[in-house]
Structure 1
């Protein structure tokens, strides 16, 4: 990290993985833009925790599917004069069985792609000048970390539309890694199951508990990953510790992909 802390934007960071990532960076003295779309109370609570941990925090409302909102989010970091990391964490889904083709509309696809794929692109475009300034002010490239999913690798997950949007994000990670080098590195993390409110909201408390228990019983490491587990990997990719990595897609699924 730089002497005055890592300067980072984390989209969708009111709760869950984004909040866990923000707190880790705050403990290192980071300057962080926390973004939320609708969860203002949770965002302010996360910001308070980060400030208590030693971070400098700005909270910005914005929907990353809207280009003007992406530019507003990035504008919050302008006073710092640079960005060292952009973490594209904001994401949404719709829970529909993959065989239920009538359960998804064109509008569903457009909304999921708008947030999960187009949003990260728009954020990178808006943040590029500050990310390049961060690289020019230091001896290492700035970092973009796209939070994807194993759904984008294996075609599984909450719906066909969600898997497709994350698959597109994985490919876009490769394209941007080529296009933005050498000043900006671009990598992705692909979590499997995470024990967060994401599953509870989509499946209810009982359904989420069943999924968690099933994951623990099946995966080789016999654990259900927490938000903090995945956030550690996100922070690794966001900092100079991973300085020679770009164009990588890192799967974090407790070994689920090893099951035959």
Structure 2
């Protein structure tokens, strides 16, 4: 069976949070060639690249791009073109707004378009841009290449930072199923649905005090009494990207410490 060292991987939204943790986790697993994308945080993404190199990756390329732009998606993929193949694409780039679900007047059509553009259209455009390289990776590997769409438990349970965010992730789950059917047998496509993750998103969106209270609430209310970190969730992303999950496709995978079992609760990532 091929190992991670045979893989060329693209990770979008790799500057911080789950994207950075996944990129570093892939490097630790043995991936030697990575393309890391960022939208605005160049310094943070360069730091992630250095951490990947320290973890063993031999070639790490950093590319700026907004995945809501098809031109930018194609440019991100072009950074891996000279490798001749891509074996995994992790669509992690995402955005949101923190708006109470009952505050309908606080969400505009432009807000929906922006959130859908990054969270839903972006992954589709990345897959379309990378399709030929992913198919080449499957042919070189002898097993399907992998696409990991980072979705959210919000898209399953209807809870999250805003209704627009919920809708974008539910749509991404549906697109995952369609792409899994359309791209088989050379490319497999799965969605990873984290619940709460202890990331700067919550501090940025709600403030430090509210973020601290949310973390403690999650620990008390999830069946596993846990508030996962990006490093925790990255382990699942690495598994879905790697050869150990080679017979999985079209799966919508919750990774939420069991929070969906408890019904509506605190806002999730």
Normalising by the smaller structure, the TM-score range is over 0.9
Alpha-carbon separation, structure 2, partners of 1:203 and 1:80: 42
Tell me the residue number matched to 1:18.
19
Instruction: Encode CA deviations 1:53-80: one digit per residue, 9 max, x unaligned.
Output: 1112000000000000000000000111
Displacement of 1:173: 0.3
TM-score, length of structure 2 as denominator length: 0.95
- Does the residue aligned with 1:257 lie in a helix, a strand or coil? helix
Alpha-carbon separation, structure 2, partners of 1:255 and 1:195: 16
State how 1:206-221 maps to structure 2 within 5 Å.
206-221=209-224
Tell me the residue number matched to 1:91.
94
Question: Contact (CA 8 Å) 2:8, 2:85: kept in 1 or not?
Answer: yes
Displacement of 1:196: 1.1
2:53 matched to 1:31? no
Alpha-carbon separation, structure 1, partners of 2:31 and 2:131: 23
Displacement of 1:135: 0.3
Displacement of 1:259: 1.5
- Does the residue aligned with 1:137 lie in a helix, a strand or coil? helix
Alpha-carbon separation, structure 2, partners of 1:183 and 1:3: 18
Tell me the residue number matched to 1:5.
6
- Where structure 2 has 5 or more consecutive residues not aligned to the other structure, the ranges are 264-269
Q: 2:229 aligns with which of 205, 226, 246?
A: 226
Change (3 A) 1:95 1:80: same
- Does the residue aligned with 2:6 lie in a helix, a strand or coil? coil
Q: 2:81 aligns with which of 78, 83, 107?
A: 78
Alpha-carbon separation, structure 2, partners of 1:43 and 1:79: 22
2:171 matched to 1:168? yes
TM-score, length of structure 1 as denominator length: 0.98
95-104 or 25-34: bigger deviation:
25-34
Alpha-carbon separation, structure 2, partners of 1:51 and 1:9: 15
Tell me the residue number matched to 2:44.
42
Alpha-carbon separation, structure 1, partners of 2:83 and 2:56: 17
State how 1:76-155 maps to structure 2 within 5 Å.
76-155=79-158
Question: Contact (CA 8 Å) 1:149, 1:166: kept in 2 or not?
Answer: yes
Question: Contact (CA 8 Å) 1:230, 1:252: kept in 2 or not?
Answer: yes
2:184 matched to 1:181? yes
State how 1:64-75 maps to structure 2 within 5 Å.
64-75=67-78
- Where structure 1 has 5 or more consecutive residues not aligned to the other structure, the ranges are none
Alpha-carbon separation, structure 1, partners of 2:40 and 2:33: 22
Tell me the residue number matched to 1:51.
53
The total of aligned residue pairs comes to: 260
Alpha-carbon separation, structure 2, partners of 1:48 and 1:252: 28
Tell me the residue number matched to 2:162.
159
- Does the residue aligned with 2:24 lie in a helix, a strand or coil? helix
